[in-house]
Each structure stands twice: as C-alpha cells, then as structure tokens.
Amino acid sequence: MKKKIFSGVQPTGNLHLGNYLGAIKNFVALQNEKDNECVYCVVDLHAITVKQDPKVLKDNIRETTAAFLASGLDYRKSIIFNQSLVPAHSEGSWILGCIARMGWLNRMTQFKEKAGKDKEKVSVGLYIYPILMAADILLYDSTHVPVGEDQKQHLELTRDIAQKFNNDFKTDIFPIPEPLILGEATRVMSLRDGLKKMSKSDPSDYSRIMLSDSEDEIVKKIKKAKTDPLPLPDNLDDAKNRPEAINLLTIYAALSDQEIGTVISEYGGKEFSQFKNDLGELASAKLSPISVEMNKLMKDENYLDSVIIKGKERAINVADPVLNKIYEIIGLFRG
Ligand code: TYM
C-alpha cells in the first residue's frame, strides 16, 4: 500500500540533534523509500503560538527549509512548503476545532509543560495548537506521520478527531493516521541533564548540538557532556538506570545506524573519555556536512524562497480538494 507521509517542524531557530534524529533523518529515509508520497511542512503558524520577532521568524523559516534540504530532502521528490502559505490549514483547523472536545485538549501534557504555572497568560493558540496539527495531517489524506516521541499524544488526538469526524458525518473521508516513531533516538535528552529532553528553548547552548554547529563546536559539546563517574555500562538494564550514559549511547547508535545493544557490546566497561572521542568524531562526520550545506543555502535566499513557493503550489493542489470535500460534507457552500 502506498504510504502518504506528512510531518512538520517549527521554525523557531536552534534546530538540534533531537529534531534531526527524531524527525528529519527519518523524513529523508521515508522520502527515499519506493512508493511513498511525502509532504514536509515548515509549521510557521505553530511557531507564532509564542511570541516571535518578525525579522527573525522569516530567517528561521528559511533556516528550517535549508535544514530539510541540507539533510537530504529533495523538493522534486517531496512536497516541501511552509504552512502559512496554504490557507486550507487555518480554515481546516477552525472546522476541526468544532469537532475536538475540550476534555481532549485538557489532557495534552505538552500544553501543561509549555504553559507552566501561568496558564491564564499563554495564548489561546498554544492551547488549540494540536488542532492545527490535526488539520495539517488530515488535509493530505496522510496515513503515516513520522515524529519524535514527544508528539505521540498529539497524534492520538489527531486520530480521535479524524474518527469523530468520520463517525459524526458517516463518512470515511479521513484515513486514521499512524505515528511513525522510528530509529533508536526517539527522545534525545539534554547533554547537560539526561532527565531533560533536548530542546530549542533550553538556555544552555551546551545542552544541545545544533544543526548549524561547526565540527569544533560538536566535538567540544560532546566532550563537555555530563556523564557519571563509572565506566560505560555493559548491559541495557544498567544503562537504563544511567540517564546520561544511555543518552550518549543512543545518540551513537542512531548516528551510526546500529542498535543500541551493538554499541553497548562495543563500549561496555570502557571509559567515557575514549567513547566521547569516538562519538565526537562520528557526530561531526555525520552532522558537519549538513551544517556546511545549510550555511551555504542560507546565503541563497532566492533559491530557498523559490523552493517554498513551488512547494506551496503543490501543497494547495492536494489540500484544497480535501477541504472542498469537508465543506461539502458539513453542509457549507464552497466556490
Ligand atoms: P517540533 O518543531 O517541536 O519538533 C520537530 C520534530 O522533532 C522531534 N523532536 C525530537 N525528537 C527526539 N528527541 C528530541 N529531543 C526531540 N525534540 C523534538 C519532534 O517530535 C518533531 O517530530 N507539533 C510539532 C510540529 C508539527 C507536526 C505537524 C508534526 C506541526 N504539525 C503535523 C507532525 C505532523 C512540533 O512542535 O515539533
């Protein structure tokens, strides 16, 4: 069966190793599998759920597009575009917001984490953010959605919305999309604290390896990564109780396309200093070509903008007919 793939990344700057291993690397593999139809979106409307500097936002949209291309996405094989250029996403989101239930949104842990103690003061957009995500996915008849583990709950909500819409209107318009949580590194943790997710918003640059980092920066960040005083664990059960160790082993496994067990059997019992040298070398060999290409693409705004515009047209050709059907089904005029 043909897989219809959709995924998105927010253009909020600081794209990091977690975004790469949990998402973008898998986007590329899926694009290169025969028969898949892939749509990859720079989700700028999601980014504005928190305050953005207008000048920086445009640069970040280009940077995320550049990261897609530099990592191996090809705009001739996949549809690559940014969300705000396709109005169907906002329109679809309103309609799906009338399907989703408050109780469902109230369960979203990412909202609770992001809103923190000051729930009353965050934007309404941040609260209804997963509904826009559902619209993104459902407008492309998507069957599969590659994401990191942190997006799993949002995917479950998308499935609930799709199912309720299909039931309410006795239709099968929406396939029920499956999350694809692929590879060894589905949740990359901070290099400063193995219990915290690697994230764009961590104040410490040393907590994450950025896709724009140079070879030297990558090596330095790995060298400085927090570890515990013991040699590396020699079995998975022990590794699971040592958050910093398992994080670095997982990163090694994902970057070298091996299973974590294989990496543990190679490095178990050895000192971190040796392992960190090897990991630094591996990470800079895999990531610095991306960084070099990204920096090159970032100097060619016209090229990046042309990729986005081409993608916009192709995306509209897929999303608009689906939105037309939705309008028809719910009894609205369209035309
Ligand atoms: P965003 O922009 O926060 O992250 C983009 C992708 O990177 C993954 N990711 C990670 N994976 C492993 N370890 C980490 N530390 C890590 N941090 C981030 C995320 O899981 C994600 O796959 N809501 C989404 C964007 C979105 C979307 C969509 C995704 C909007 N519409 C439709 C899929 C389908 C988000 O904020 O991702």
- Annotate 139-164 with b (16+ C-beta within 10 A) or e (fewer): bbbbbbbbbbebbebbbebbbbbbeb
Residues 33-44 pLDDT 10s: 999 999 999 999
Residue 188 CA: which ligand 1 atom is closest?
13
Residues 253-276 pLDDT 10s: 999 999 999 999 999 999 999 999
The answer to whether the CB of 150 is under 6 A from ligand 1 is yes
Given a contact cutoff of 8 angstroms between Cβ atoms, the answer to whether 135 and 89 are in contact is: yes
The answer to whether the CB of 152 is under 6 A from ligand 1 is no
Pick from 10, 14, 19, 83 the residue to mutate for probing ligand 1's pocket: most ligand atoms within 8 Å of its CB.
19
3-state secondary structure of 106: helix
Is 197 an annotated catalytic residue?
A: yes
Task: Quote the tokens at residue 273.
Answer: 């200093």
The whole-chain average pLDDT of the chain stands at 97
Measured in angstroms, how far is the CA atom of residue 212 from the centroid of ligand 1?
18
Measured in angstroms, how far is the CA atom of residue 150 from the centroid of ligand 1?
7
For residue 186, pLDDT beyond 80: yes
pLDDT value of residue 327: 98
- Name the band, by pLDDT with cuts 50, 70 and 90, for residue 86: very high
The answer to whether the CB of 75 is under 6 A from ligand 1 is no
pLDDT value of residue 118: 84
> Average of pLDDT values for 139-159?
98
- Name the band, by pLDDT with cuts 50, 70 and 90, for residue 334: confident
Helix runs in 152-242, H state only: 152-168, 215-224, 236-240
Measured in angstroms, how far is the CA atom of residue 235 from the centroid of ligand 1?
30
The answer to whether the CB of 147 is under 6 A from ligand 1 is yes
- Enter the pTM of the model: 0.96
Measured in angstroms, how far is the CA atom of residue 128 from the centroid of ligand 1?
16
The answer to whether the CB of 142 is under 6 A from ligand 1 is no
Measured in angstroms, how far is the CA atom of residue 159 from the centroid of ligand 1?
17
Is 121 an annotated catalytic residue?
A: no
Residue 46 CA: which ligand 1 atom is closest?
30
Q: Which residues contact 224 (CB under 8 A, 6 or more apart)?
A: 191, 206
For residue 195, pLDDT beyond 90: yes
Residues 199-211 pLDDT 10s: 998 999 999 999 9
For residue 321, pLDDT beyond 90: yes
Residues 221-261 pLDDT 10s: 999 999 999 999 999 999 999 999 999 999 999 999 999 99
Q: Which residues contact 332 (CB under 8 A, 6 or more apart)?
A: none
Residues 93-143 pLDDT 10s: 999 999 999 999 999 999 999 999 888 999 999 999 999 999 999 999 999
Is 200 an annotated catalytic residue?
A: yes
Given a contact cutoff of 8 angstroms between Cβ atoms, the answer to whether 192 and 226 are in contact is: yes
Length in residues, the chain:
335
The answer to whether the CB of 133 is under 6 A from ligand 1 is yes
For residue 335, pLDDT beyond 80: no
Report the distance separating Cα 130 and Cα 152, nearest Å.
Answer: 11
pLDDT value of residue 94: 98
Task: Quote the tokens at residue 207.
Answer: 């907590």
pLDDT value of residue 102: 97
Q: Which amino acid is at 296?
A: K
The answer to whether the CB of 130 is under 6 A from ligand 1 is no
Report the distance separating Cα 273 and Cα 267, nearest Å.
Answer: 11
